[in-house]
Amino acid sequence: MELLGHWKLRERPFEATWDTRFFFASPEHEEALSRLIYLVNETSMNLGMLSGDIGCGKTLTRSVFAERLDPQRFCVATVENSGFPFTDLLAAILRRAETVAGNGGQTKFARCDRLQQCLERMHAEGRHLVLLLDEAQDMPDNTLHELRWLTNFNGGGRALVTLVLIGQPELRSLVAGDAAINQRISLRFHLRPLRREDVEPYVRHRLRVAGHPTGELFSAEAADALFEATRAVPRELNRLSKLALEHAWLQEAHSVGVGSVEAVVRDLEKHQALPVT
């Protein structure tokens, strides 16, 4: 019997995708969402920042956040990679924000002017642009500094755009080095790994979303071993859980025990220790 049938699953539960169905609402992640939603509902706070340790779910949280915003009130424009000159970033923003093709404009001024016209049209329609800039830790210093221009767009005393910078921990030091941007950030939140007590519910949640009737395939001891090996970083949890599920299937087991987790950990450690050639 193939893996999905053996475990009574419709689909694989631990894939590295941004499928929002698999979002696990830990207290930490719900707090991040609550703060971001407050930020955009105010429509006057200009800039927010979501940082987080590598693999802790920033991009999935970003996707859930975008889904939760009312499309009648907000236009969400996401730039997945922000490590480009400001003029190029403006072009990417315009492609995502404009409902109709623009009429040219290759200079920085022309693109800023076109974006302002776009924002004013949105404002007249009762909508607000939310701009999500991911991988913002890769942003050149000049690009970060010039983002402040976008916070000057306003209509009737209200900001026309809310920017959210999203990135790895080094984003915080990048922002701290630019006083003009640092002072404009109204809200910031740093995502950390899950707690030990979240590991078992996290794994169970993903299994249930993938089709298992209860999600109870990993023993409590296996969940403890997952925590010890991954420190509850979601990306690492997914990787190790996926491999342990496959190991237990190959052993024709009816659940995933601590032995499968430990076998996978030993194998990973063995191959990670091999010399680089």
N residues, the chain: 277
How far is it, in rounded angstroms, from Cα 130 to Cα 47?
Answer: 10
Helices (H) and strands (E) in the chain — how many of each? Answer: 12, 7
Per-residue confidence (pLDDT) for residue 68, from 0 to 100: 95
Cβ neighbour number for residue 76 with a 10 Å cutoff:
19
Per-residue confidence (pLDDT) for residue 61, from 0 to 100: 96
CATH class of the domain comprising 27-191: alpha beta
Cβ–Cβ < 8 Å for 225, 265: yes
Which pLDDT band, with edges at 50, 70 and 90, does 275 fall under?
Answer: low
How far is it, in rounded angstroms, from Cα 196 to Cα 98?
Answer: 44
- Asked if 27-191 and 195-270 have one fold, the answer is no
Q: E strand or H helix at 159, and its extent?
A: strand 158-159
Cα 80 off chain centre by: 10
Assess whether pLDDT exceeds 90 at residue 89: yes
Per-residue confidence (pLDDT) for residue 104, from 0 to 100: 55
Tell me what the mean pLDDT of segment 116-138 comes to.
94
Which pLDDT band, with edges at 50, 70 and 90, does 138 fall under?
Answer: very high
Listed in order, strand segments (DSSP E) in 62-177 are: 74-79, 128-133, 154-155, 158-159, 161-167
Per-residue confidence (pLDDT) for residue 98, from 0 to 100: 80
Q: Kindly give, in sequence order, each residue whose CB lies less than 8 Å from that of residue 264, ignoring residues fewer than 6 positions away.
A: 240, 243, 244, 247
Domain boundaries in the chain? 27-191, 195-270
> Which of left, alpha, beta for 53 (phi over 0: left; psi -120 to 50: alpha)?
beta
Cβ–Cβ < 8 Å for 77, 131: yes
Query: In the chain, how long is the greatest CA-to-CA distance?
Result: 67
CATH 1.10.8 for domain 195-270: yes
Per-residue confidence (pLDDT) for residue 100, from 0 to 100: 53
Assess whether pLDDT exceeds 60 at residue 125: yes
Please provide the distance, in angstroms rounded to a whole number, between the alpha carbons at the two ends of the chain.
39
Which pLDDT band, with edges at 50, 70 and 90, does 18 fall under?
Answer: confident
